[in-house]
Amino acid sequence: MTNLATNLSVRDKPMPETTVAAGFVRALLELAVSKGANRDVLVARAGVEPTTLGDQDNRVPFSAFVALMREGKRLSGDMALALHFGEAFDVADLSIIGLVGRSSSTLAEAFEQSNRYADLAIATGSGDPAFVLMREGDHLWMVDTRPIHDDFYEHIEGSFARMVCTARRWFPGQAIIKAVHVTWPAPPYRSEYDRVLQVPVVFESINNALLTDGAWLDMKPAHASRYAFDLFRERADSLAERVHSSGGCRSRVEAYLTPMLHRGDVRKSEIADAMGMSSRTLSRRLQKESTSFQALLDQLRRKTALQHLNKRGASVASVAHLVGFSEPAAFSRAFKRWTGRNPRAARWSKRW
């Protein structure tokens, strides 16, 4: 695969802000817990807000997904957790992308749609296709071009394992994928690559890529259905519009703040650094959207507090801690300032 070097160079540009669909985060969380990780400890260490995982199409900062994977490996003791994540879940379990692919007329169309809707799984903001196809004689390379793997190789582990295992499930007995190439050295759990992937694996390669037989492009998924395809595409288009229109500064700040609300010391400078800008620039951009950092923080805390106050068994003290207040009295004062009511009274009010 050396001839690919002149076509695909490693990106030197900074990684764009990246988000991941909540379906991936929820599934990874459940898998890590099933392997022995303590749910509460894992959620706290990863900075994941459980309330965002109810709808698998919600967006979660990619940094939280990375932390969840890394902490999940430590807490479960499963160093091959990413491989097992790919082995356990078809993409149709995690995202509308998989349903579009399964109902496509051919795998070539499924591949085209996976690139079209790649941001619904992981939105990098790069504008580049997630995968490119490159021919080399009778072979066809599927090369992953996403600029997120240098610092997080576990994602490609899971992604490639999912693709290889899905191909085996969809087309049993047919060797669609011939080999797997990855850019990192072989890890201590090298044997799990052999067990999960069941194809030759080349480590320290020049690209992250799958070697395939080009004949797969004309193959037809068992669930191919133009009616279903059109329905799923309509839903995917709607979600894609939501993802692409959510790039305003306000929504980006909210995405970073949500998993950090339990902390009482969330600083504007910290969020600005994470977004790659100065505090002054962040303030200026939020002002253009008729808001401020403190207003967004208060609104998010208010919204989260109201969501939890009516939950059975949720005390005012626990909700106060959840939104970043160490003392219930301070939370009560802030809540009254936000809503004009005492939190104990608001607990039972359905109009909130």
84 pLDDT higher than 90:
yes
Q: With 0.75 as the threshold, say if the pTM is over it.
A: no
1 pLDDT higher than 70:
no
**What is the per-residue pLDDT for 19?**
85
Residue, of 330 and 78, whose pLDDT is higher? 78
pLDDT tens per residue, range 321-340: 888 888 888 888 888 888 77
- C-alpha span between 336 and 343 (Å, rounded): 7
Segment 175-180 long-range contacts (CB within 8 Å, at least 24 positions apart):
175/199, 175/213, 176/212, 176/213, 176/216, 176/219, 177/210, 177/211, 177/212, 178/139, 178/211, 178/212, 178/213, 179/210, 179/211, 180/209, 180/210, 180/211
Which percentage of the chain shows pLDDT scores above 90?
A: 38
**What is the per-residue pLDDT for 14?**
34
**What is the per-residue pLDDT for 7?**
37
2 pLDDT higher than 60:
no
Average pLDDT value for residue range 245-257: 72
- C-alpha span between 23 and 43 (Å, rounded): 15
**What is the per-residue pLDDT for 78?**
97
How do 177-181 and 201-202 pair as beta strands?
Answer: parallel
How do 131-136 and 139-144 pair as beta strands?
Answer: antiparallel
**34-38, 264-268, 287-291, 307-311: least confident range:** 307-311
Out of 84-98, 134-148, 232-246, the most confident range is 84-98
* Phi, psi values for residue 30, rounded to 5°: -65, -40
**What is the per-residue pLDDT for 38?**
95
99 pLDDT higher than 90:
yes
**What is the per-residue pLDDT for 257?**
82
9 pLDDT higher than 60:
no
**Could you tell me the domains of the chain?**
2-240 (no CATH), 249-346 (1.10.10.60)
Residue 4 — pLDDT band, cuts 50, 70, 90? very low
Closest CA to 90 of 78, 79, 102: 102
**What is the per-residue pLDDT for 122?**
86
Arithmetic mean of pLDDT over the chain = 84
- C-alpha span between 68 and 134 (Å, rounded): 33
pLDDT tens per residue, range 128-183: 678 888 888 778 999 988 766 567 899 999 999 999 999 999 888 888 999 999 99
Average pLDDT value for residue range 266-289: 81
**What is the per-residue pLDDT for 125?**
61
Closest CA to 297 of 261, 329, 270: 261
352 pLDDT higher than 60:
no
**What is the per-residue pLDDT for 312?**
57
pLDDT tens per residue, range 174-230: 889 999 999 999 999 999 999 999 999 999 998 899 999 888 889 999 899 999 999
Out of 6-10, 15-19, 207-211, 302-306, the most confident range is 207-211
Q: How many residues does the chain have?
A: 352
**111-120, 136-145, 239-248, 289-298: least confident range:** 239-248
